[in-house]
Amino acid sequence: MRVLITGGAGFIGSFLTEKLVESGFDVIVIDNLSSGDLGRLSDVIDRIRFVKDDLKNPSDPEAFQNVDTVFHLAANPEVRISVTEPRTHFDENILVTFNVLELSRKYGIKNIVYASSSTVYGDARVIPTPEDHPIQPISIYGAAKAAGEVMCGTYARLYGMNCVALRYANIVGPRLRHGVIYDLLMKLRKNPEELEVLGDGTQEKSYLYITDTINATLMAWEYAVKNSGVYVYNVGNWDLINVREIVNIIVKVSGFNPRITYRPATPDGRGWPGDVKRMLLSIDKIVREVGWKPNMSSKDAIETTAKALSQELGV
């Protein structure tokens, strides 16, 4: 069976690609390598078809031919940038999703798995946040992800596809090149004496390890195909961890002893305008319906990732 992964040279996409190749699928990856890196696919590059293409303006639509499922992960995942560059996020996250859905419709693709995000909820009133909580994003990134979910669901209902949107918490693991762990390690690599942290350090969020994420993605896909229809699942952890605890882990892993300063960007201590202060998703629905559950806590996921990235980055 042939599957297509957009953004397959990215952090999550490369692990998904490896897993699907190992499971015997015929895998096509489309990626423009903007934040992707073919090095992440070195173990499987001989066993996939890689198409370097920009999905803002697809030039190889036939890559969508005879595909059973599209895993749509291509996006700009930098929430912070979306606040100052809304147009970039409109193009990379909304236009790209529209183009992927149009090609999927044109080529009669039956199943879409969409990488959404916890940021669709904004500052949630209910924590842990269930899927039926109001969608009120506070970043352009979150708004773009919400728009993508609605478009995927509508295409599925209108054109007879199955669609599953996965609202990922913060996903971490080896090969990660954005987010708090990566940023802090890069700062320490540049200057081991000082560490500036965005926000007042009280921001609390839930983190999920990459292998747990890939399992959730594949299990939710199988569930949607088997049961047909449109599904939305939170994919997160049971617990959360605050930025001060993360800083302690990173400093310990690095072996440095920097002077730490916290830089709140808003009166209530956020790292940047549009930064969600507290995020913990309810995962009851995916546990109950799909039968998935996470194996690693937020803290263990952070520790394991910090060790892996410190080696990869030479910190």
Asked if 117 interacts with ligand NAD (CB under 6 A), we say yes
Out of 5, 7, 82, 253, which residue is the one contacting ligand NAD (CB under 6 A)? 7
Among the residue ranges 7-15, 190-198, 290-298, 307-315, the one whose residues contact ligand NAD (CB under 6 A)? 7-15
**45-64 footprint of ligand NAD as x/- string (CB under 6 A):** ---------xxx--------
Give the C-alpha separation, 275 to 114, whole Å: 22
Among the residue ranges 71-79, 155-163, 214-222, 271-279, the one whose residues contact ligand NAD (CB under 6 A)? 71-79
By C-beta, is 150 or 255 nearer to ligand NAD? Answer: 150
Question: What helix, strand, coil percent values describe the chain, rounded to 5?
Answer: 45, 20, 35
* Shortest Cβ 304–ligand NAD spacing (Å): 15
Asked if 109 interacts with ligand NAD (CB under 6 A), we say no
By C-beta, is 5 or 161 nearer to ligand NAD? Answer: 5
What does residue 177 show for φ and ψ, rounded to 5 degrees? -130, 30
* Shortest Cβ 230–ligand NAD spacing (Å): 18
Q: Is 209 a catalytic residue?
A: no
Supply the DSSP symbol for 127: S
| Binding to ligand NAD in span 157-186, by CB under 6 A | 168, 170-171
Out of 74, 101, 243, 296, which residue is the one contacting ligand NAD (CB under 6 A)? 74
With contact defined as beta carbons under 8 Å apart, do 37 and 105 qualify? no
173: left (phi over 0), alpha (psi -120 to 50) or beta: left
Provide the b/e sequence for 262-293 (b: ≥16 CB within 10 Å): bebbeeebbbbebbbbebbbbbebbbeebebe
Asked if 31 interacts with ligand NAD (CB under 6 A), we say yes
* Total number of residues that touch ligand NAD (CB under 6 A): 28
| Binding to ligand NAD in span 253-312, by CB under 6 A | none
Angle at 128 between CA 123 and CA 131, to 5 degrees: 80
Q: What are the tokens at 2?
A: 């042939």
Out of 51, 63, 70, 75, which residue is the one contacting ligand NAD (CB under 6 A)? 75
Place of tokens 């926000």: 199
Asked if 9 interacts with ligand NAD (CB under 6 A), we say yes
Is the bond preceding residue 128 a cis peptide, omega within 30 degrees? yes
* Shortest Cβ 168–ligand NAD spacing (Å): 4
User: Minimal CA–CA distance to 170: which of 92, 259, 271?
Assistant: 271
By C-beta, is 13 or 258 nearer to ligand NAD? Answer: 13
CA distances from 204 to 138, 276, 277, 313 (A): 16, 9, 6, 25
Q: Return the active site residues.
A: 141
- Residues of this chain that interact with ligand NAD (CB under 6 A) are 7, 9-13, 30-36, 54-56, 73-77, 92, 96, 115, 117, 168, 170-171
